[in-house]
Chain A
Amino acid sequence: MKNDGSVLLETRGLTAGYEKKIVLQGVELSVRAGEVLALIGPNGAGKSTFIKSIAGQLARSGGTVFLCGKDLRQMTPGERSERMSVLLTGQPAGELVTCREMAAAGRYPYTGRLGILSPEDWEKVDAAMARMGAADLADLPFDGISDGQRQRVLLARALCQEPKVLVLDEPASFLDIRYQLELVAALRSLTEQEDLAVIISLHELDLVRRCADRILCLKDGRADRLGSAAEIFADGYLEQLYDLPAGSLEPAAPAPGKFSHYIRSEGKQLRCGYTTGTCAALAAAGAAARLLMGVWPETVSLRTPKGPVVQVGLEMQEISEDGTAARCGVRKDAGDDVDITAGLLICAEVRRAQEPGILIRGGRGVGRVTRPGLDQPVGEAAINSVPRQMIREALEEVCRTAEHDGGLEVTVFVPGGEEAAEKTFNPKLGIEGGISILGTSGIVEPMSRQALTDTIALELRQHFAEGHRRLILTPGNYGMDYLRGRDADTLGIPVVKCSNFIGEALDEIRALGYEELLLAGHIGKLVKLAGGIMNTHSRQADCRRELFVTYAALAGAGRDTASRLMECATTDACIDVLKEDGLLQPVMDGLRDAILRYVSERAGENCHVEIILFSNVHGTLAESEGVKEVLRR
C-alpha cells in the first residue's frame, strides 16, 4: 500500500494553555500521509501542550485542528480514536495484565459493547506486536518487563488501533540506544508502507535527524521554524533554538572527512588511503545495517588489519522495491598514492539468505579469476582472502548487533570497474571483467613519487655523510627479509629501501660517490632491470615475460617454452616453467649479467656493483661473483 500523501492533520492558529497562561500560540502545521514530523524545542516550549492539544487531551483555547479533514471538535471520541492513536510519556501500571492484553487495548474502538476481541482483532494485535519486536513478550506480565519492552508493547497498542495519525510523546526516553534506533526504523517503515503520518516529540536530536522528514521547532509557544532536517540542522540554528552559545552543539558524529591516517617519512607526512577490500567491507556493513535494522547508519567504520580505524559515509544508498535488499557504496580513497582505483565507488548489495553464514559474491565491475596461481581459485570472484575475511567479520558484527541469526548474501560490485580494470594488470594476470578487491593490511600507504625519491635521496646522503661508502639497496620488504636471512643486516653496511625508484637511487649513488653497491631484489622486480627498465613500478612497464623468453631463447629454449612462459601470470610461474625445462640456471645467469650491466652503467664507473636475484618460493636464484665476498666481510 503506497500512501497518497494527503493531508492527515492540520492545525490552524492552534492556541492552548493552562489556567489562562498561554503556552502555545498560533501554530500552523499540516502533516501528510507518509511523513514523520518531529517536534523539538527547549523544555517548556510547548511540545507536550501541542501533542496534548492535537490528541484531544487538552481543551484548546483557540484555533482549529483538522484530523483527516474534519474538525476535531466536531468528532466524537470514538471517531477520533479510529483515526489517531497516541503514546504518552507515562506508562500504565498494568498489574495482572499480559503484554498481549495491554496491546489489545488498541482494538477498543473496533470492539462491541463488552469489548470482546474477535479472532481478526487478535490477529491484528499479534501482527502489531511482531512489527514492534514484542511478539515474544506476548504472554509475559506487563509489570514484569523492562521499561523499554513496555514501550514497545505500548507502541504495538498504538499501532493496532490502526490510526491515520500516530502521535508519540517522547517515546525514546525509556529506550536504550539500540531500541531507539529500532524505533526510528519501525517508524520509517511504517510511514513507507502504510497510509499514515507520525508526529513525534523528541529530545534526542540524533534520532530527529535520523527519522524526521520535517521538523517543527517550538520556542516560547510559537513555531520558530519548520523545515527539513538539512534546514534545521544547518549551521548555528539549533544553538539559537536552545539558547546555547554558538558552536556548543557539535554534530553528534562529525561528517567523515578524508581518512586522516598519515605515515611520516623523514619530515614528510603522507596521507594513507584504504584498500578496495576495506571499502567493500564498509559498504557491506552499511547495507547490512540498513537491511537488518532499518536505518542507514550515518557512518560506518571498521578496524583494518593494520590497525587504523576507517570511518566513512555511505553513498548511493538504495533499498530494493520489496525491501529485501539494501545496497550502498564507499568511495575508494587512495590517500596520497596514485592509483587507478582511486575514486571508484566500491559497492555492496546485501540480502537475507536462506542458509546461515555469509556468502560473498562478485558482481559487475569485480574481476573473475580465469587462471590458476592466484589468491582465489579459477572461477571465483577476484575478492582476495583478506578482504573476504574483513567482509565476513564486518557482517557478523552487524548480525550480532541486530540479533540476526540467519545468513546474509553479499554481492560486491564496482560501477566503472570494467573500464578501470583495463588499465591495471588484471587482464594479464588472468582476472577478467573488473578490478580486484584486495589489500592485506586494509590501508594503502602512499608511494608518492617525489616524496619517495626525496626520502631515498635523503637517506643515501645521510649514510654517505656518516662516512659510509658501501651500500646495500633493495626495492622493498621482500628484499629486507631475504637480506636478514643472509645476515646482511649485521655487516654494518647501511641497507636502503628504494621501492621502485631504482634509477633515481642509482643516480643519487653515483652523484654522491658511493664505491660499492649490493643490489638485492625479488626476481619479479629486478628482471625488469635486465631490459633497462629502471622504474620497476608496474605502471611504467612490464616486459617481464618478454625478458624471460629472450634469455630462455638465448639459453636454447624452443618455441614451446617461449609460449608457455608468455602465458605465465607470475614470475614464480615462469621460474617453474624454466625449471621443468632445465633452463633455470642459464636464464638466471643471463638475466643477472644483463642487470649487472645496466645497473653498473647507471651507477657510474666509480661504483662497483654486485647483484642478488631471489624469489620467495625458490630462494636465491642467481648472484654475481663478488657477493659472497661482500657478505663475508
Chain B
Amino acid sequence: MRSHRMRRIVLSFIALILLLILLLMMNIYIGSVSLTPGQVADILFRHDMGSTEGRILWTIRLPRLLAAAVLGGALAVSGFLLQTFFANPIAGPFVLGISSGAKLTVALAMIGSLSAGRTLSSAGMIFSAFAGAAASMGVILLLSGRVRSMSVLVICGVMIGYICSAITDFVVTFADDSNIVNLHNWSRGSFSGISWGSVRTMLPVVGIALILAFALSKPMGAYQMGEAYARNLGVNLRRFRVELILLSSILAACVTAYAGPISFLGVAAPHLIKRMFGTVKPLVVIPASFLGGAAFCLLCDLLARTLFAPTELSISTVTAVFGAPVVIVMMLQRRGRREQP
C-alpha cells in the first residue's frame, strides 16, 4: 500500500517529465514555419543565426518556450502556496486579483517610463509587478481578516481583479504612444515578444523563489493541518506566513511582468497534480506543480500560437478554456463534501 503510493509518485514524475519533453519539442517544431528535427539539430549545433529558420528558432521560439515553461511552472507553484495559505484549493493569483494588481502597476510603470522617453528594464518590470501583487495581496489579507467565508473572499478577489483590469484598460486606451499596441497585447496575456534578456532575468528570480518555496515544504505540510496544529508542532507561524506570502507574490509578479495575467493556471495545475500524484505533500507537490504548470502552459501557448495562425490568441483565453472547467468541477466536488468554515 505504502510502496504503492511511492510508486504512483515516481511513475507520475516520469510521465510528467516525458510529457514536458514532448511539449517542448512540439513547441520547437510547430509554428508558422514548420521545422524538421534535422533542421533543429543543425541550427542548434551550429549556432546558426543567419538563416530565417535559425533566427526563428533562436530569437523567437526558444526564449518563448523557455519563458512559457518557467513562468507556467512559477504560476502553478504560486497557486499552490496561496492554496496552502488560505487552506482553499480555489485560491490562486488570478482568482484573488493578485495578477491583475501586478498588471496595473506594470502598465502604469511602462506608460510612465515611455512618456519619460525610456523603456522599462526587466528588473523594473518585475519590481513594479511585485509592488502591484503585494498591494493586491495586502487588500486580500485585510479582507480575509474580516471575511470568514472563503467563497466570499474569492468573490472579493475577482472584484479586485476587475477593478484593476478596468483601470489598466482605461490607462491603456488613453495612452497615445505607438508602443501601446504592445502594451495592449501584453495586458491580455501573451508570451509573444519575449527576449533572451527577459529569460535571463526571470530564470534566477523564479529559480531562487522555487528553492525557497521547496525549503518551506516541512512547515507547509504542518500548516495544511491548520494553524493551531502547526503552532503546536513548533512552526513559527508569523515568519512562515510572511515567507509564504512573499514567495507567492514574487512568483505571481514575475509571471505577470513578462506574460501578463494568465487565468486559472494557478488553480488548475496544482489541483490536477494533486489528483495525479494522489498526495498533497508539499515535498512532492511543489516540484510536480512546477513541472505540471510548465507542461500546461506550453500546451496552451502552442494552441494560442497555432490554432488560428497567423492570428494569435491571448494565453489567458486558452488557459481559461482548459482551466475554468477544472475549477468548476473542483467547486462542485467541494460542495458535495463538508463546507469549510
Cα separation A101 to B282 with both chains bound (whole Å) = 13
Task: Give the distance to chain A from B103, nearest Cβ to Cβ, in Å.
Answer: 31
Does chain B have a CB within 8 A of A1? no
Does chain B have a CB within 8 A of A77? yes
Does chain B have a CB within 8 A of A81? yes
Which chain A residue lies CB-closest to B237? Answer: A77
Task: Decide: A116 near B283, CB < 8 A? Known: A81-B233, A90-B228.
Answer: yes
The answer to whether A108 and B217 touch across the interface, beta carbons within 8 angstroms, is no
B contact residues around A109 at 8 Å (CB):
233-234
A contact residues around B231 at 8 Å (CB):
56-57, 77
Cα separation A152 to B221 with both chains bound (whole Å) = 20
Does chain B have a CB within 8 A of A78? yes
* Bitwise interface map of B from 218 to 240 toward A, beta carbon under 8 Å scored 1, else 0: 10011011101101111110000
Cα separation A241 to B56 with both chains bound (whole Å) = 83
Contact check: which of B2, B229, B236 meets A92 at CB < 8 Å? B229
Does chain A have a CB within 8 A of B184? no
Cα separation A57 to B237 with both chains bound (whole Å) = 11
Does chain B have a CB within 8 A of A111? yes
The answer to whether A95 and B217 touch across the interface, beta carbons within 8 angstroms, is no
Task: Give the distance to chain A from B286, nearest Cβ to Cβ, in Å.
Answer: 11
Cα separation A481 to B225 with both chains bound (whole Å) = 74
Taking CB atoms and an 8 Å cut-off, the chain A residues in 73-126 that contact chain B are 76-82, 84-86, 88, 90, 92-98, 100-102, 105-106, 108-109, 111, 113-116
Which chain B residue lies CB-closest to A89? Answer: B228
A contact residues around B87 at 8 Å (CB):
93
The answer to whether B233 and A98 touch across the interface, beta carbons within 8 angstroms, is no
Task: Give the distance to chain B from A118, nearest Cβ to Cβ, in Å.
Answer: 14
- Number of A interface residues at 8 Å Cβ cutoff, please give it: 38
Which chain A residue lies CB-closest to B2? Answer: A139
The answer to whether B234 and A105 touch across the interface, beta carbons within 8 angstroms, is no
Cα separation A514 to B278 with both chains bound (whole Å) = 96
The answer to whether A108 and B218 touch across the interface, beta carbons within 8 angstroms, is yes
The answer to whether A88 and B228 touch across the interface, beta carbons within 8 angstroms, is yes
A contact residues around B281 at 8 Å (CB):
101
The answer to whether A57 and B234 touch across the interface, beta carbons within 8 angstroms, is no
Cα separation A90 to B87 with both chains bound (whole Å) = 14
Contact check: which of A106, A115, A139 meets B218 at CB < 8 Å? A115
Cα separation A97 to B89 with both chains bound (whole Å) = 15
Task: Decide: A93 near B340, CB < 8 A? Known: A113-B215, A115-B218, A116-B283.
Answer: yes
B contact residues around A80 at 8 Å (CB):
234
Does chain A have a CB within 8 A of B279? yes
The answer to whether A113 and B228 touch across the interface, beta carbons within 8 angstroms, is no
Residue in B1, B87, B89 with the greatest tally of chain A CB atoms within 10 Å: B1
B contact residues around A341 at 8 Å (CB):
none
A contact residues around B35 at 8 Å (CB):
none
Which chain B residue lies CB-closest to A56? Answer: B231
The answer to whether A114 and B234 touch across the interface, beta carbons within 8 angstroms, is no
The answer to whether B218 and A90 touch across the interface, beta carbons within 8 angstroms, is no
The answer to whether A113 and B218 touch across the interface, beta carbons within 8 angstroms, is yes
B contact residues around A96 at 8 Å (CB):
274, 278-280
Contact check: which of A86, A108, A114, A116 meets B228 at CB < 8 Å? A86
The answer to whether A105 and B1 touch across the interface, beta carbons within 8 angstroms, is no
Does chain A have a CB within 8 A of B337? yes
Cα separation A171 to B168 with both chains bound (whole Å) = 53
Which chain B residue lies CB-closest to A52? Answer: B228
The answer to whether A92 and B226 touch across the interface, beta carbons within 8 angstroms, is yes
Residue in B225, B228, B337 with the greatest tally of chain A CB atoms within 10 Å: B225
Task: Give the distance to chain A from B79, nearest Cβ to Cβ, in Å.
Answer: 16
Cα separation A77 to B238 with both chains bound (whole Å) = 11
Residues of A within 8 A of B (CB): 55-57, 76-82, 84-86, 88, 90, 92-98, 100-102, 105-106, 108-109, 111, 113-116, 138-139, 143, 161
Question: 4 closest pairs, A vs B, by CB?
Answer: A81-B234, A115-B218, A108-B233, A92-B225
Q: Can you give 8 contacting A-B residue pairs, CB < 8 Å?
A: A55-B232, A81-B234, A95-B280, A96-B280, A97-B279, A97-B280, A114-B215, A116-B283
Besides A85-B232, A92-B224, A115-B221, 15 more A-B contacts (Cβ < 8 Å) are: A56-B232, A57-B231, A77-B231, A77-B236, A92-B225, A92-B226, A92-B229, A93-B340, A95-B274, A96-B274, A96-B279, A97-B224, A97-B280, A108-B222, A113-B218
